[in-house]
Structure 1
Amino acid sequence: MKIKKVECLAVHPGWRKNLIFVRVETDDGIVGWGEAYSQYDRDRAIVAQVEALGQYLVGRQARNIRHFLQIAFDDYAQRRSSLEYWCALSGIEQALWDIAGKAVEQPVYNLLGGTCREKIRVYANGWSYKMQQPADFARAAEQVVRSGFTAIKFDPLPRPWRTYIPKEHIRHAVKVVSAVRSAVGDDVDLLLDIHRRLAPAHAITLSNALAEFDPYWFEEPCQVENLDALAEVRAASPIPVVSGEAMYGRADFRRLFRERAVDIINPDISNCGGILEMLFIAAAAESEMVAVSPHNYNSTTLSLSATVHAAACMPNFIITEYFLPYEEFGSVVTNNPLLPVNGYIDLPKGPGLGLDVNEKVVRSRPSKRYPARTFRMSEDDQPLPL
Structure 2
Amino acid sequence: MAKSLATARQTTIVVVETRSGVTGIGEAWGMPAVNQAYLPLLASYLEGSDLADVELVFSRILARHYHFGVQNQMMACISGIDIAAKDALGKEIGLPVCRLIGGRGSEHVPVYASGGYITEDNARDFTPQLEAIAAGKHRAVKIKIGLGPASDLARVREARHVLGEDIDLMVDINSNYSLDLAKHTLAALAPHRIGWVEEPLAPQDIAGYEVLQRCSPVPVATGEALYTVHDFQRLLERRAVDVVQPDLSLCGGFWQGRRIADLAELHHVRLSPHVWGSGIGLAAAAHYVASRSPSPQAQDAPWPTLVEYDVGANPLREQLFKQPLVAKDGLLPVPPGPGLGIELDWSAVEKYALR
TM-score (norm 2): 0.90
Q: Indicate if the aligned counterparts of 1:133 and 1:176 stay in contact, CA closer than 8 A.
A: no
CA deviation after TM superposition for structure 1 residue 225, in Å: 1.2
Q: Indicate if the aligned counterparts of 1:279 and 1:314 stay in contact, CA closer than 8 A.
A: no
Q: Indicate if the aligned counterparts of 2:146 and 2:176 stay in contact, CA closer than 8 A.
A: no
Q: Indicate if the aligned counterparts of 2:115 and 2:129 stay in contact, CA closer than 8 A.
A: no
Provide the rounded CA distance (Å) in 2 between the counterparts of 1:139 and 1:296.
23
Partner of 2:3: none
- Report which of the two has the higher share of helix: 2
Distance 1:257 1:249, change over 3 A: same
CA deviation after TM superposition for structure 1 residue 68, in Å: 1.7
Within a 5 Å distance, the mapping from 1:130-279 to structure 2 comes to 130=119, 132-133=121-122, 136-158=125-147, 169-279=148-258
Distance 1:304 1:350, change over 3 A: same
Does residue 307 of structure 1 match 2:285? yes
Partner of 1:11: none
The aligned amino acid for 1:36 is: A
Provide the rounded CA distance (Å) in 1 between the counterparts of 2:142 and 2:334.
23
Provide the rounded CA distance (Å) in 2 between the counterparts of 1:127 and 1:178.
13
Q: Indicate if the aligned counterparts of 2:119 and 2:125 stay in contact, CA closer than 8 A.
A: no
Q: Indicate if the aligned counterparts of 2:273 and 2:306 stay in contact, CA closer than 8 A.
A: yes
Partner of 2:321: 334
Q: Indicate if the aligned counterparts of 1:141 and 1:152 stay in contact, CA closer than 8 A.
A: no
CA deviation after TM superposition for structure 1 residue 337, in Å: 1.7
Partner of 2:341: 354
CA deviation after TM superposition for structure 1 residue 61, in Å: 1.6
Within a 5 Å distance, the mapping from 1:11-50 to structure 2 comes to 16-38=8-30, 42-50=31-39
Q: Secondary structure at the match of 1:314?
A: coil
Provide the rounded CA distance (Å) in 1 between the counterparts of 2:318 and 2:20.
29
Which runs of 5 or more structure 2 residues have no equivalent in the other structure? 1-5, 295-303
Provide the rounded CA distance (Å) in 1 between the counterparts of 2:92 and 2:341.
13
Which runs of 5 or more structure 1 residues have no equivalent in the other structure? 1-13, 159-168, 369-386
Provide the rounded CA distance (Å) in 1 between the counterparts of 2:29 and 2:243.
21
Give % identity: 29
Q: Secondary structure at the match of 1:246?
A: coil
Q: Indicate if the aligned counterparts of 2:115 and 2:144 stay in contact, CA closer than 8 A.
A: no
Provide the rounded CA distance (Å) in 2 between the counterparts of 1:144 and 1:362.
28
CA deviation after TM superposition for structure 1 residue 44, in Å: 2.5
Q: Indicate if the aligned counterparts of 1:86 and 1:272 stay in contact, CA closer than 8 A.
A: yes
Q: Secondary structure at the match of 1:318?
A: coil
The aligned amino acid for 1:186 is: E
Q: Indicate if the aligned counterparts of 1:34 and 1:303 stay in contact, CA closer than 8 A.
A: yes
Does residue 281 of structure 1 match 2:274? no
Provide the rounded CA distance (Å) in 2 between the counterparts of 1:55 and 1:145.
50
Distance 1:134 1:263, change over 3 A: farther
Provide the rounded CA distance (Å) in 1 between the counterparts of 2:68 and 2:125.
47
Q: Secondary structure at the match of 1:298?
A: coil
Q: Indicate if the aligned counterparts of 1:15 and 1:325 stay in contact, CA closer than 8 A.
A: no
CA deviation after TM superposition for structure 1 residue 131, in Å: 5.5
Q: Secondary structure at the match of 1:174?
A: helix
Q: Indicate if the aligned counterparts of 1:134 and 1:179 stay in contact, CA closer than 8 A.
A: no
Partner of 2:309: 322
Provide the rounded CA distance (Å) in 2 between the counterparts of 1:337 and 1:326.
14
Aligned residue pairs, count = 341
- Among 83, 87, 101, which residue is 2:90 paired with? 101
- Among 125, 139, 146, which residue is 2:114 paired with? 125
Q: Indicate if the aligned counterparts of 2:228 and 2:260 stay in contact, CA closer than 8 A.
A: yes
Provide the rounded CA distance (Å) in 2 between the counterparts of 1:18 and 1:136.
23
TM-score (norm 1): 0.83
Does residue 345 of structure 1 match 2:332? yes
Structure 1, residues 47-84: CA drift from partner, whole Å, max 9, x if none?
Answer: 32245323421122222122122112112455622320
